Every structure is written in structure tokens, then in C-alpha cells.
Amino acid sequence: LAKLQPGVRSSLERIVGAEHLRVDPDALASYGVDALGQGHPADLVVLPGSTEEVAAILRLCNDARVPVVPRGAGTGYTGGAVPVRGGVVLSLERFTHILEIDIANLLAVVEAHVITGDLQAAVERVGLFYPPDPASLSQSTIGGNIAECAGGPRAFKYGVTRRYVLALEAVLATGEIIHTGSKAVKNVVGYDLTQLIIGSEGTLAVVTKAVVRLVPRPAQQATLGASFDSIEAAVSAIAALLAAGALPATLELIDADTLAAVADYAGRALAPPGTAALLIIEADGLPAGVAEELSRVESACRGAGATRIETAVEAAERAELWRVRREMSLAVRALAPLKINHDVVVPKGRIPALFALIERLRREHGLRIPCFGHAGDGNIHVNIMVDPANASAIAAARRAERTLFEGVVALEGSITGEHGIGFSKAPYLSLELSSAEIALMKRVKQAFDPNGILNPGKIFPD
Ligand SMILES: Cc1cc2nc3c(=O)[nH]c(=O)nc-3n(C[C@H](O)[C@H](O)[C@H](O)COP(=O)(O)OP(=O)(O)OC[C@H]3O[C@@H](n4cnc5c(N)ncnc54)[C@H](O)[C@@H]3O)c2cc1C
């Protein structure tokens, strides 16, 4: 790959106009970091205003072999939008329009930089629902959600982003504009390029537009908090409520260390003293169904030994509970300057084994590791809190991280369920994928991006 030459820079300026280039050092730095502050400055930031401009930028950079890094809101956790090899950051920030909400066909057509929460609010106003709900939804973009295949609490019942993408407009590294999928909900014409691009972390194509699938807005939602004095009891409550036929929208688990952090940060205790796990369970649907589901959930939790159960049906109570849940990342961040955040996944029955492993890591390495996450999916956010100025703590955290990843793979889980590989997890790819699988993925990458200009240094270890 090549350095950005002055000739390429002036051609980029001709494509987008000087007012849509950023070259000052502050902008180059701020467009080069992710949510954890992992960063590398871009050589140039370009803000195209149309798909044709995106295509022209890619064609030019491909010819000049200059790296291009697509960027949404920069809320990623694994450095996906960080230009680790320099080059051009291509921000989609001018792609902000909801182009269509089609009530009859339960779909919306959106540009890449529509904020997730704005799409949700817009479709809810007309009685529809866009389920994917990453905790970052007030900032993250649909393009970034597609590139990372974002999930959230509601994934338990509704599934992650990939279930809600019917079609994409995207631009290949070589500048061709492609349209994958269609507005029809069934489509088996050829390989499923839509699904291949989803979760590809900006390494296969730049997404400019998406057709997303919607569902009717649930008429009612109600939330129940259940506290337990052990992780095992909480997990057995989950098994019991599912066996009782309940299918809640969310099944979130918060551990004792996180509860303590929230109490400090938000000034309120979410659970009684001695709680090892708090489950936040939300039922949604038609009112009679919600009432029946909550009653089954409640008796399953009681049967599993819940020490306290609280129900929030009013919108304000629910909103407050979910606000605290969304701020959990911030509460945990207040514990130490660096949060090494891992979103590991195990089959949900093995959550107690995962927590036993985390307890061992806390003990052996003397680390604070608050955990919370989507228990219904077995997807737990494991936050290793350290002071980056403390070299021995960092070394201990790195050792703990490797043991964690080896442990989840041994439990037949995955090292990331939502945040992707980016560059920070690339060294661990081979813990989960064989060399044949990695080689096949590299051949796919080569087919999409023959010169390797699109988001280089991501997913695959050097
Ligand atoms: C407080 C907080 C809470 C979070 N909670 C969750 C959560 O609950 N669930 C979850 O899944 N994630 C969560 N995240 C992580 C993050 O918000 C998601 O990964 C999100 O999808 C990233 O969107 P973004 O617009 O910020 O993308 P960016 O961070 O800008 O980019 C992420 C990746 O997508 C690529 N990309 C961005 N736009 C495009 C495009 N148009 N075309 C091609 N590639 C593109 C980038 O190159 C990069 O590799 C959280 C983050 C924070 C800070």
C-alpha cells in the first residue's frame, strides 16, 4: 500500500469539494479513534455526499493503492474504524436521510449514517418497530451496525442486525456500485452477498444505503428485575422461564461488581446487598400476553430462589431502568482509566462455567472485572479494568484476556458476539478459526478487494 500523494489529495478535493475534506491535525486525530480511545491519525478525512462520490473516491484510492477506512460514529470497541495503516478515512456523515418508511411492506430505506435511535423513533411514530438496540443507539449509525452486525438486549427474542437487513447499496474497493438482496423478504438468487457484507467490518465494501425490515410495534412492554444470590440461581431461572414457555424480549444479567459500580456512579442501588446477579427481563406484545408472560417469568424466578422481584410497567419506570442499563458501560469506565472490554459468548447453560473462569482470573491476576450482558444469548461483556500507567497490571490483563478467550473457545463459545475483531482481537483469530477457514476468508476478501485497500489491518493478524 502507498502513502497519500499530493496528486491523490487534489483529485479527492475535486471529487468532494474542498469544504468536504478535513486535513487539520485535530480532525485527523479525532476521526482516527474508536470508543476506547484506540487511535492512529488519518492522512486525510473525506466526507462524500453521494454514492457516486464514494465510488469515485474508491476508484481513485484503489488505483493509487491508498488505504480507505469507512467510518460511522466511531463507537466501535475493537478499533474497526481506526486507520491503523494511515490513508483516507471515509466518513459517511452526510448520509443521514431516512428515505422511505413503507408501512404496508414493513420496511424502511435508510442512508448509512442514520442514527440507530433516530430510525427507531421514526418508525415507532407510525406503529412499527426496528428491534436491534445496541446500548450505543443514541450515537451509532445503521452503517456501523451493519458493518459490525450489532446486537443488543432485544436480540434474545428478535435477533441481531443481520435479521433486519433485506438489501444493501454498497461500493466495492474497485469503485463498482452494487445492489444486494431486494425488498422481498425471501430471496435465494445466487450467493447471499447482503449477509456476507454484514459483519465484515468495512473490509469488503462501503455500505451507503440499506433496506431494513421492520415489525409491528409491540403494544405493551413491561420490565421485571429479579435479584439472585448466585449466578447459578439466575441461570437456572432463565432455564425455568423458557421451559415455562416464556420468550421475553430481553434477558440481561448484571453481576455484583457491576452493581457496585452503578451504585457509585448513578447513586442508586439496583439490587439488595449480597446480590450476585440481577436479571432485567422485559416482556413485550399484546397486553394479555405480556401479563401472562410476566407471571410465568415471576414464578420461574421465585422457584429459582430470587431474593427480590420488582416489576416496572409504567413507561417512566421502564425508561429509568433501561437508562441505568445503558449507562452501565460508563459506570464501569469510572472504575479505572482503561476498560478492556470483551463481548464473549458461550452457550447460555455454560454461563456459570464462564463466571467461574472469570472469578479465577480475578483471583489469580488481582484484577477488577465487572461483567454484564445479554444472558439470554450467553453474551457477556467482560470488562477488565486497569490503569494503563501500571505496566504489571496491563501485563496481567493481557494474560487474563488470553486465558478468557481460550476458555470461551473451550466452552464452545466465541471470542466476540457483537463488537467484531477489528485490530485489537486480530491476534486471537486463530483460537477460533482454523488455518483453512482463515485462508478461505482471505480469498473472499481478495475477491472483493484485490489490492487490499479497504480497511487494511483489520480482522486478519499480520
Ligand atoms: C457505550 C457503548 C455501548 C455499546 N453497546 C453496544 C451493544 O450493546 N451492542 C453492540 O453490538 N455494540 C455496542 N457498542 C459498539 C458499537 O456501538 C457498535 O459496534 C456500532 O455498531 C458501531 O457503529 P458506528 O456507527 O459507531 O461505527 P464505527 O465505530 O464508526 O465503525 C465500526 C466498523 O464499521 C465500519 N463501518 C462503519 N460504517 C460503515 C459503512 N457505511 N460501510 C462499511 N463499513 C462501515 C468501520 O470501518 C468499522 O470497522 C457500544 C459502544 C459504546 C461506545
- What was the pLDDT predicted at 412? 98
Of the listed ranges 33-37, 59-63, 155-159, 423-427, the one predicted with least confidence: 33-37
Average pLDDT over residues 92-111: 98
pLDDT at 319: 84
C-alpha cell at 390: 501500571
Walk across the sheet containing 220-228 and list its strands: 308-312, 220-228, 277-285, 250-255, 371-374, 379-386, 338-345
Mean pLDDT of 313-319: 84
* 117-153 pLDDT per residue, tens: 999 999 999 999 999 999 999 999 999 999 999 999 9
Cα distance between the two ends of the chain: 14
Mean predicted confidence (pLDDT) in 142-166: 97
Atom of ligand 1 nearest to the CA of 329: 1
Pocket probe for ligand 1: among 119, 136, 250, 322, the residue whose CB has the most ligand atoms within 8 Å is 136
The answer to whether 442 touches 450, Cβ cutoff 8 Å, is no
* Average pLDDT estimate for 29-58: 96
Mean pLDDT within 419-448: 97
- In this predicted structure, what is the pLDDT of residue 181? 98
The total of other beta-carbon atoms located within 10 Å of residue 317's CB is 14
Distance CA 328, CA 131 (A): 20
CB of 250 shorter than 6 A to ligand 1: no
Going by pLDDT thresholds of 50, 70 and 90, the confidence category of residue 203 is very high
| DSSP β-ladder status, 128-129 and 215-216 | antiparallel
Q: pLDDT (tens digit, 9 = 90+) per residue, 380-417?
A: 999 999 999 999 999 999 999 999 999 999 999 999 99
Confidence (pLDDT) at 330: 85
Distance 230 CA to ligand 1 centre (A): 33
Given the CA of residue 170, which atom of ligand 1 is nearest to it? 42
- Ligand 1 center to residue 148 CA distance, Å? 6
Torsion angle, CA of 95/109/198/216, rounded to 10 degrees?
130
Give 137 Cα–ligand 1 centroid separation in angstroms. Answer: 10
Helices vs. strands in the chain: H and E counts, helices first: 16, 18
Tell me, in angstroms, the distance from the centre of ligand 1 to residue 142's CA: 9
For residue 94, the SS3 value is coil
User: How much is the pLDDT for 322?
Assistant: 79
Predicted local distance difference test score (pLDDT) of residue 326: 75
SS3 content of the chain, % helix, strand, coil (to 5): 40, 25, 35
Question: Residue 332 and residue 380: Cα distance in Å, rounded?
Answer: 14
Q: Is 234 exposed, middle or buried (0-12, 13-18, 19+ CB in 10 A)?
A: buried
Whether 207 lines ligand 1, by a CB cut-off of 6 Å, is: yes
How many CB atoms neighbour CB 363 within 10 A?
9
pLDDT at residue 327 above 80?
Answer: no
* Helix (H/G/I), strand (E/B), else coil: 63: helix
pLDDT value of position 43 = 97
Q: Is 165 helix (H, G, I), strand (E, B) or coil?
A: strand
pTM above 0.75, yes or no: yes
Ligand 1 atom, smallest distance to 133 CA? 8
Tell me the per-residue pLDDT of 348-361, one tens digit each, with 9 for 90 and over.
999 999 999 999 99
The alpha carbon of 288 and the centre of ligand 1 are apart by a number of angstroms equal to 36
- What pLDDT score does 324 carry? 76
Q: Determine the distance separating the centroid of ligand 1 and the alpha carbon of 459, expressed in angstroms.
A: 15
Q: Check pLDDT > 90 for residue 323.
A: no
- State if residue 68 touches ligand 1 by the CB under 6 angstroms criterion: no
User: In this predicted structure, what is the pLDDT of residue 118?
Assistant: 98
Quote the CA–CA distance of 216 and 456 in Å, as a whole number: 40
Ligand 1 centroid to residue 83 C-alpha, Å: 15
pLDDT score at 461: 87
Secondary structure E strands in 189-337? 205-213, 215-216, 220-228, 250-255, 277-285, 308-312
Confidence grade of residue 305 (pLDDT, cut at 50, 70, 90): very high
The two beta strands, 107-111 and 177-181, are unpaired
DSSP state of 195: H
Residue from 75, 171, 329 whose mutation best tests the ligand 1 pocket (most atoms within 8 A of CB):
75
Cross-strand pairs, 252: 280, 374
- The response to whether residue 332 sits with its C-beta less than 6 Å from ligand 1 reads no
